[in-house]
Amino acid sequence: MTGSIAVIGYGLATLGPGIGIGLLVAKTQEATARQPEVAPTLTKNMLIGAGFIEALGLVGFVAGLLFS
């Protein structure tokens, strides 16, 4: 088998953040539909959470590059 195992590690590292952001956005949309008056607060919290989730993806990417 040729290639780098880091590529497989990066592929696995993107699964978690992808699923996490999908769930985060879906639940925020559901909550906004139920209570439209809290939409600005929910949007702000969603963006902060998405930033944390994306940081996890970047950590997985950098770890794959460092340990290859």
Q: Which pLDDT belongs to residue 63?
A: 75
Q: For the chain, which residues make up each domain, given as ranges?
A: 24-68
9 φ, ψ to 5°?
-60, -40
Q: Which pLDDT belongs to residue 4?
A: 72
Q: Which pLDDT belongs to residue 3?
A: 60
Residues in the chain predicted with pLDDT less than 70, given as ranges, are 1-3, 6, 64, 67-68
pTM of the model: 0.72
Contact 17, 68 (CB under 8 A): no
* 32 vs 45: CA distance, rounded Å: 12
Task: Please report the sign of the dihedral spanned by the C-alpha atoms of residue 57, residue 63, residue 64, residue 66.
Answer: positive
Cβ-based neighbours of 63, under 8 Å, separated by 6 or more: 9, 13
Q: Which pLDDT belongs to residue 15?
A: 85
